[in-house]
């Protein structure tokens, strides 16, 4: 075998981690589901003019899915996969912590919903990556409901006097 044949063979072996077409399709579907569900949450946050929007939510969901997909493809059993999930959940806490701001002049805290949304997006990405796409879809629909109903529920709770002042 000449040098170029050996090099091309080594490259081919290096890129053969998804040998079966079914494996490739599974990875693509799981990452796409994570990306699409993250996009739905990100679009909602963009429409609400929040600073963690479309790209952030897509990347968080896909990143979460990718971590568990790596563990699955490495043939980890449930205990190491559990540790991967714990690491992802702890890691997203640092990103979420950066989204929370407290004004020095007031008791007002900003960014809690953004942080909680990123945390939820992480969980949705993990579910998609683990192959629980229906669970991920249900969680996304419920999260969107919570985010979209916040304004109307606050207005309703404020009562008719607050609504007439608008």
Q: What is the pLDDT of residues 13-64, one digit of tens each?
A: 888 887 788 999 999 999 999 999 999 999 999 998 888 899 999 999 999 9
Block residue for tokens 């971590």: 67
- Span 89-125, pLDDT tens digits: 999 988 888 888 766 777 778 888 889 999 999 999 9
Q: Cα(87)–Cα(145) distance, rounded to whole angstroms?
A: 28
Domain layout of the chain by residue ranges: 21-150
Cα–Cα distance for residue pair 150/52, rounded to 1 Å: 18
Q: Please count the other Cβ atoms lying within 10 Å of the Cβ belonging to residue 76.
A: 15
Distance between CA atoms of 29 and 37, rounded to whole angstroms? 12
Write out the two tokens for 52. Answer: 């963690």
Q: Tell me the C-alpha distance between 69 and 47, whole Å.
A: 31
DSSP code at position 165: T
Segment 129-144, tens digit of pLDDT: 999 999 999 999 999 9
Identify the CA nearest to 155 among candidates 143, 145, 165, 146.
165
pLDDT value at 166 more than 50: no
What span, in angstroms and rounded, lies between the C-alpha atoms of 13 and 19? Answer: 10
- Nearest 10 degrees: Cα torsion 92, 79, 126, 115: -20
């Amino acid at each position: 075998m000449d040098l170029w044949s050996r090099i091309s063979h080594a490259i081919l072996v290096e890129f053969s981690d998804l040998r079966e077409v079914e494996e490739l399709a599974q990875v693509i579907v799981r990452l796409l589901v994570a990306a699409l569900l993250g996009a739905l949450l990100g679009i909602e946050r963009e429409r609400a003019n929040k600073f963690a929007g479309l790209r952030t939510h897509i990347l968080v969901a896909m990143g979460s899915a990718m971590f568990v997909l790596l563990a699955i493809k490495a043939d980890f059993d449930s205990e190491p996969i559990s540790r991967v999930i714990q690491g992802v959940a702890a890691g997203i806490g640092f990103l979420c912590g950066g989204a929370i701001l407290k004004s020095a002049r007031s008791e007002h805290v900003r960014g809690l919903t953004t942080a909680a949304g990123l945390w939820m997006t992480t969980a949705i990405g993990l579910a998609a990556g683990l192959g629980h796409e229906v669970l991920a879809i249900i969680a996304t629909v419920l999260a969107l409901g919570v985010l979209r109903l916040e304004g109307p529920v606050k207005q309703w709770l404020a009562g008719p006097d607050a609504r007439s002042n608008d």
